[in-house]
Amino acid sequence: MGQRHLLAMYSNFDEAEAVVKELRSTQIKGFDVNRDLIVKSPIEHPEVEEFLGDKPVYVQWFTLGGALMGGLLGFFLISAAQANFFAQFKGGKPIVPLPPNFVLTYEMFILGGVFITVLGFLICAGLPARRSPLYSSTVSEDQIGILVKSDESAANTLKGIFTKHNALEIQEEAGK
Amino acid sequence: MKDIREDIAWAKINQDVLKSLENPRKLYWVILFIALAMLGVAVGCEVYQYEVGMGVANMDNPHMWGLYIATFIFWIGMSHSGTLLSAILHLMHADWRKPIYRFAEAMTTFSLLTAGLFVAVHLGRVWQIYYALPYPNERGTWPNFQSPLLWDAMAIFTYLSSSIIFLYVGMIPDLAICRDRIHEGWRKKLYTLLSLGWEGTDRQWRNFRVTYLTVACFLIPLAVSVHSIVASDFGMSQQPGWHITSFPPYFVAGALYSGCAAIITLFIILRYVFRFEEYMTLPILKKIVRLTFAIAMVWTYLNAVEFASVWYSHDQASKDVLIQKASGTYAPFWWAMIFCGSIVPLVLAFKRFQTNIPVLFAVSLLLNLGMWLERWMIVAPTFSHGIYPWTWDHDQWPSFVQWGMVFGSFGWFTLLFMVFCKVFPSVSMYEVKEMVYHRSQQSKKQEETGKFAAAGKGAH
């Protein structure tokens, strides 16, 4: 069966929330609310996450990995360079002095953490991305968009729900 | 008085900010022209120095560092306020920072770029910079990993790259707005490329929030470490006047102080040039002014601690340097530093001056003059009055080449900053929308609570 993409635009978060709640409570064949629903908003709005339900964020794992990798890489690179000093007189001082190396390790820890966090962000947020099948530039201004993907058979039911909650505009397009 | 009007329509926020990208006041072009002319002076001085050699900078033994390193520290310090506004106040949920943090972040990035230039200029033979890079080579030389100068290079590289990333990531949603609102030309292509296909989906916002918070958490200790390490360049040496335990916090306080003063200056300029009166409001200015006053007092206290620890240390050489500063060749500048850094900010304590734009503009410039003098008064007097009498040279004066470079660096910074503000939104549109939204929601709640209370309903 063919698929259909629908985008409904709303002027405020209350209406968008009501739509999501109704979509969650209604069983619609050919539409999975957890998989096929995307809310687009002009601002970061914590309430969106509340009414969409808990969804995991994995960026912090990238951060941890990046910071550890950066720190270890920094320490071992410096130590490897200092190992060259075997050939030089050190006057009894340690070849790999820990206190001064800590400073550079610390900087590399942060550098790795920041770089890999941003990499994690791009991966987790799916960026860079092509435009989704339906997009309205009013999302970047003042409207909230609800994008759903469903079977053809569910499209009319979904449109009915959108209209019931005062959608300003409904766009639709055949999906792949 | 409210920080920002709560009834501004979101579409109007977009419109006002995007207008700044196309249609600034004429003063913008005047500033740009002056900045270019100033930069021209620096380029001329730099070319002359390349041609003739470092001698034209009038640096010799014992005057090794001069204005270049003093100005380098000044620009590094200037960068700290961006982190203060965008990271520290972000973690503290101070939402009044939202309309102004973007330009403060840009200021961080460009002041770091300016500071970096001074290192290169100071080296003289820039084409031999590869000598300083840590890589296995035929010469068998490595940089000294135990030197604070190397730590400094690493810390500044980390801070610069992290600040650029932080500035860019925070700007992605706004770049998408620009992409959607600007219809053609190179700008459209640029914003489309840089916005990475951002659509404001719940998945993107969720990850964005965590990323922004995480990078902010990294930036705070990083900013502190950068200026502490700059302080270590001095504090870890045995030179009189520098070997002082309180130098790292003193440098960090000085950095925040000069940064806040610069934010006041740029706030006033941007507010007028880009017609941002609705977003860069007087109540917000008042908050920055109070913050600056508080930091000024911390700096004054740490200055006093520095003098006291030298005075009571029984380290005669350090004491002599302090006496030299107060009564020798550099005395007018040292006292000007005390006046600009500790006396002038007292004006900020008076309520009527906290929103007086001409007074604040003048005060912010004087504060920054004081902070620049502070850096010069750290560097120069110690070189002119070292431990051994045969190194004393009290009459050295920086050459016009050094002064030209310092002068031109302000042009370079201003040029980069003003071009940025014309190409990218200097007010964060999505965060101002958030601010307006949350504040209007709060007001609604308060009104409802008030109605219930008036009707005798409620929990009681």
With b meaning 16 or more CB within 10 Å and e meaning fewer, what string describes B268-294? bbbbbbbbbebbbbbebbbbbbebbbe
* Chain A residues inside the 8 Å CB shell of B200: 40-42, 139-140
The complex's ipTM works out to: 0.91
Residue A58 has a pLDDT of 93
Q: Residue A119 corresponds to which tokens in the numbers above?
A: 């990499």
- Cβ distance B205 to A129 less than 8 Å, yes or no, reads no
Judging contacts by C-beta atoms under 8 Å, the chain B residues touching residue A114 are: 158, 161-162, 165-166, 215, 218-219
Single pTM value for the model: 0.91
Give the Cβ contact number of residue B136 at 10 Å.
Answer: 10
Low-confidence ranges of chain A (pLDDT < 70): 1, 85-90, 175-176
User: For residue B405, what pLDDT is reported?
Assistant: 94
B110: nearest Cα among B441, B420, B395, B382: B420
Cross-chain Cβ contact A118/B215 below 8 Å: yes
Taking the C-alpha atoms of residue B420 and residue B23, their distance in angstroms, rounded to an integer, is 14
- Nearest residue to B289 via CA among B344, B224, B220: B344
Q: Which amino acid is at A111?
A: L
Could you tell me which chain B residue has the CA closest to the CA of A117? Answer: B211
DSSP per residue over B22-59, as a string?
A: H---HHHHHHHHHHHHHHHHHHHHHHHHHHH-GGGGT-
Provide the residue ranges of all domains of chain A, joining segments of one domain with +. Answer: 3-56+135-175, 59-124
Q: Which fold has domain B15-136+145-433?
A: Formate dehydrogenase/DMSO reductase fold (1.20.1630)
Phi, psi of A125, rounded to the nearest 5 degrees = -90, 0
| Contact of B208 with A125, CB cutoff 8 Å | yes
Torsion of CA A30, A36, A39, A44, to 10 degrees: 150
**pLDDT by 10s per residue, chain B, length 460:** 788 888 888 889 999 999 988 888 999 999 999 999 999 999 999 999 988 988 888 888 778 888 999 999 999 998 887 787 778 888 888 888 888 889 999 999 999 999 988 888 888 888 888 888 888 788 777 788 888 988 999 999 999 999 999 999 999 999 999 998 888 888 999 999 999 999 988 899 999 999 999 999 999 999 999 989 999 989 988 888 888 888 999 999 999 999 999 999 999 999 999 999 999 999 999 999 999 999 999 999 999 999 998 899 888 999 999 999 999 889 999 999 999 999 999 999 999 999 999 999 999 999 999 999 999 999 988 888 888 888 888 877 889 999 999 999 999 999 999 999 999 999 999 999 988 888 888 888 888 877 666 665 544 4
| DSSP element (H, E) containing B87 | none
From B374, B394, B277, select the one nearest B327 (Cα to Cα).
B394
Q: Give CA torsion, residues A62, A66, A68, A73, to 10 deg.
A: 160
**What is the chain A residue with the closest CA to B168?**
A118
Nearest to B60 by CA among B115, B127, B124, B144: B124
* CB A142 within 8 Å of CB B9: yes
Chain A positions touching B7 (Cβ under 8 A) are none
Kindly list the distances between the CA atom of residue A60 and the CA atoms of A118, B122, B230, B377, in Å, as whole numbers in the listed order: 10, 40, 30, 44
- Write out chain A residues lying below 8 Å of B162, CB-based: 110-111, 114
Cross-chain residue pair A107–B158, CB shorter than 8 Å: yes
Note whether A54 contacts B: Cβ–Cβ < 8 A.
no
| Alpha carbon of B144: minimum distance to chain A alpha carbons (Å) | 9
Chain A contact for B205 (CB, 8 A cutoff):
yes
Element (H, E) at A174: strand A169-175
Spans of all domains in chain B: 15-136+145-433
Nearest CA in chain B to A56: B206
Residues B214/A110, Cβ–Cβ less than 8 Å: no
H helix or E strand, kind and range, residue A37: strand A37-40
Other CB atoms within 10 Å distance of the CB of residue A89: 7
Place of tokens 């002068």: B407
What is the fold, at CATH topology level, of the domain defined by A3-56+135-175?
Answer: Alpha-Beta Plaits (3.30.70)
Chain B residues in contact with A78 (beta carbon < 8 A): 145
CB B114 within 8 A of CB B409: yes
In chain A, what residues touch B165 (CB-CB under 8 Å)?
114-115, 118
Most A CBs within 10 A among B18, B137, B138, B145, hence the mutation to make, goes to B145
Q: What is the pLDDT of residue A113?
A: 96
- Asked if the C-beta of B15 comes within 8 angstroms of chain A's C-beta atoms, the answer is no
Q: Does A96 reach chain B within 8 Å, measured CB to CB?
A: no
